[in-house]
Structure 1
Amino acid sequence: MSEPKRKVAVVTDSTSSLTQAMGQEYGVHVMPMYVMFGTQTYRDGVDLDAELFYRLLRGNKRLPTTSQPTVADFVQMYTELSHQAEAIVSIHLSHKMSATLDSARSASKELPDVPIHVIDSRSTSMDLGLIAIAAARAAAAGQDATDVVRLVEELVPKTNIFFTVETLEYLHKGGRIGGATALLGSALSIKPVLHVRDGQVEPLEKPRTRKRAIGRLLDLMAEQVGASEAVHAAVLQCDVPDEAQALAEQVAARFHCVELLTTEAGPIIGTHCGPGTLGVAFYTA
């Protein structure tokens, strides 16, 4: 006898900084993006983890490229999930950063008998990851698709992500720099603090040292979160685990965190932001 269908399956993509293992833990189905080193293609989080990614990055003179999942990839995942759930809520990175949303929407049209809700998070990394986790928790609690979609749509404008990079080179070459092009002229002398605004990466401030940039991440978070407000937060990093741990300890000490995750941002974020990226994503409960 087959198990009864659950009400909602939650899908996101691997730009969410959720590994496949984290996806299993939180009940989120993570669609892999593609990373290409020369002629070799990898599926982010499936046959390319962070350790291998940075080893390849250091060993290649040319930067890797990335690509969104295909329509066929989504059709396959949605079809499999349609046997397990009554509806699917699929939450993805900003349409201004990738055509992933287009692939998901096209796939949903090929499955007209399956209720599929495709949502633009207008962000990426753990900003998207936190939204997906919240959606999966709501689904696990028995909420139906209408309630889960409403929750996601409420969280999209509430979530924030602030981060600093070692260099703007990766954002520039990957075409994901948005308004941060204005910083390129002084890129060698600054450690910029950036955020995602209106679905794309934008500059916020131009500290001249790494220490000041990291301090500003905390200050900017404090401007959005009251000292006693409950907050869901995540620290994300690209190949700087020690700095991430130190930042997470400061976040825990300074804010009332009901949830605090620390995670490697993943190969897609690593490709476009580069090693040394460090940031914090959060929303108030």
Structure 2
Amino acid sequence: MQAIKIFADSTCDLPTAWIQQYDIGIVPLYVTFGDTNYRDGLDLETPLLYKKVDETGKLPKTAAPSPSDFMQAFSPFVAEGRDILYISLSSELSSTYQNALIAAEEFPEGRVTVFDSLNLSTGIGLQVMKAVRAAGEGKTVKEVVSLLEAVRPQVETEFVIDSLDYLYKGGRCSGMQNLVGSLLRIRPVIKVIDGKMTPAYKIRGSREKALDQLLNNALSRVSEMDNDLIFVTHSLADEDAVRLEQALREKTGAREVAVSNAGCVISSHCGAKTIGILYTKSI
């Protein structure tokens, strides 16, 4: 048993098999339809999320885990004598980080460490996997955090959003923008910069054109990549994800290219067919 237990939250979008294999603790965020709360990834999966949105015509609300949720998750492992390192969803996007800090204060000093990923989806997952491997090598919490501080600004997160519908329903673009964008087949590209979701540019034309641009953007930086791990993360875009995975595997020489499914919280903000390529640059 490792001395350090690595935790993340449900927005890290790591493959379930990896979470089990590497003994990663997951604290779920909440997705709320009307008066009903669902735990992301436990009570609600992405296909059912979209079905509910179609039925109601409304997006759900999302909420951070409470300090109590974090305390309940951490307590059994602290009781075992293990130290906790929790890597959170960006503090610029959610109160998840702050609630985890509140929970950490309820444990003896130094037993629970909270690290702000300043990212989302597998932009968090990349950092979690770095932490898991470092902890497995016997590094201390302080040493793992030092590694993460170096890795964090090197994470590249870029998504193509297939439709403006979810941005419109979520109040992130106007009805006119949605209409014009749909008519012109405009697909926004979102990057994570300084912990925030930032519109980087727009691609006009076919989905294939948008995916080619996403791929070419990544391939243009192969010389800068840390070729340890690249993620292709998507929301119900399996065929496209496989195509991007194969291209990245062939053209980057990465040790591993993994496909990951976006959970309910990420999907509720971006919509179906959203797809991204995420990697870290060499330190």
- TM-score (normalizing by structure 1): 0.89
Note if 1:115 corresponds to 2:111.
yes
Select between 160-169 and 70-79 the one with higher mean Cα deviation.
Answer: 160-169
Q: 1:52 to 1:123 in 2, by over 3 A?
A: same
The equivalent of 1:253 in structure 2 is 250
The equivalent of 2:269 in structure 1 is 272
The answer to whether the 8 A contact 1:164-1:194 is kept is: yes
Offset from partner CA, 1:34-81 (integer Å, 9 cap, x none): 011222211011121233323323333211111100100001111112
The answer to whether the 8 A contact 1:6-1:85 is kept is: no
Structure 2, unaligned runs of 5 or more: none
The answer to whether the 8 A contact 2:249-2:256 is kept is: no
- TM-score (normalizing by structure 2): 0.90
Note if 1:7 corresponds to 2:8.
no
Structure 1, unaligned runs of 5 or more: none
Q: 1:22 to 1:116 in 2, by over 3 A?
A: same
Select the residue among 45, 50, 53 that pairs with 1:49.
45
Percent of matched pairs sharing the same residue: 31
Partner of 1:252, secondary structure, is helix
The equivalent of 1:77 in structure 2 is 73
The equivalent of 1:29 in structure 2 is 25
The equivalent of 1:140 in structure 2 is 136
Aligned-residue offset at 1:218: 1.5
The equivalent of 1:225 in structure 2 is 222
Q: 1:106 to 1:174 in 2, by over 3 A?
A: farther
Aligned partners of 2:122 and 2:190: how far apart in 1?
15
Counterpart residue type for residue 62 of structure 1? K
Select between 245-254 and 76-85 the one with higher mean Cα deviation.
Answer: 76-85
Aligned-residue offset at 1:33: 0.6
Aligned partners of 1:222 and 1:196: how far apart in 2?
18
The equivalent of 1:97 in structure 2 is 93
Partner of 2:256, secondary structure, is strand
Counterpart residue type for residue 181 of structure 2? A
The equivalent of 2:234 in structure 1 is 237
Q: 1:95 to 1:173 in 2, by over 3 A?
A: farther
Partner of 1:53, secondary structure, is helix
Counterpart residue type for residue 78 of structure 2? S
Select the residue among 199, 211, 218 that pairs with 2:208.
211
Aligned partners of 2:193 and 2:155: how far apart in 1?
11
